[in-house]
Amino acid sequence: MSSGAHGRLEGQVSLITGGASGLGRAIVDRFVKEGARVAVVDRSKRGLETLASDHGERVTGIVGDVRSLASNQEAVRRCVEVFGRLDCAIANAGIWDYSVHIADLPDDRIDEAFDELIGINLKGPILLCKAAVPELVRSRGAFLVTISNAGFYPNGGGVLYTTSKHALVGLVRQLAFELAPFVRVNGVAPGGIHTDLRGPVSLGMDSRAIGSLDMPSRFGPLLPIGRLPTPDEYAAAYVFFASRADSVPATGAILNFDGGIGIRGFASPAGGAGLGDRFAKGGDQ
């Protein structure tokens, strides 16, 4: 995939965690299309090799663990070494808990599950920001965090996942304050997504993918927009926040980019279901 001739991210360099599959991969693809060069941190060597094959010199891959400060620091170092700068860092890596309720968390695995999920979903973004701050201050860049509809509403996951995503809302706001006026910090809160998102090893969920739940048919009709957005459609929000031209006023902002979950009605997901038939002939009936 080649970069766009006049992309909105032309000349910029981004670092994205969890970018070898799912939403992260869609963000990488979109950023390259918009003219960016991208460093990708992921634990999948095979996924990173596929990215390199698809994008050539516009992408460099780093095998790493987002729970390690040293791993995040090495990723930033490699990014600057290869591309010369860093304009945008995106904390996207995450795992899901398959909506396990607190009553169902195994007593003998709750500590390990907490450390694993919170370590990836919350500690990971903190460590990436810590590692990236010097370069982002120099470039007056942007730091972005993937949140979720679970950052605002219950039942988008279990107690561990929902807690981690609510905490990210506070993280975005605090970092936006601490890093102003040099670095803009914002979040994107996607809704349901049909990807390869996995669960915690500690709960035996690492071989399960959220895509196995057939999200489009099960949850798409429940959304006010009438269907489940694709990873590519979600990726557009990250371009907006990363663009120096489009989002200058935005810092401490979080975009609920979730298909309208927050405006669902009690009896039905959307109040205008009959409008298509009513106005099908072009008349105001």
Which conformational region is residue 252 in: left (phi greater than 0), alpha (psi within -120 to 50 degrees), or beta?
left
Whether 139 and 9 have beta carbons less than 8 Å apart is answered as no
SS (H, E, C) the chain: CCCCCCCCCCCCEEEEECCCCHHHHHHHHHHHHCCCEEEEEECCHHHHHHHHHHHHHHEEEEECCCCCHHHHHHHHHHHHHHHCCCCEEEECCCCCCCCCCHHHCCCCCHHHHHHHHHHHHHHHHHHHHHHHHHHHHHHCCEEEEECCHHHCCCCCCCHHHHHHHHHHHHHHHHHHHHHCCCCEEEEEEECCCCCCCCCCHHHCCCCCCHHHHCHHHHHHHHCCCCCCCCHHHHHHHHHHHHCCCCCCCCCCCEEEECCCHHHCCCCCCCCCCCHHHHCCCCCCC
Identify the CA nearest to 82 among candidates 60, 66, 64.
60
Is 234 catalytic? The answer is no
Q: Which one of the listed residues 98, 153, 161, 234 is annotated catalytic?
A: 161
User: What residues are labeled active site?
Assistant: 161
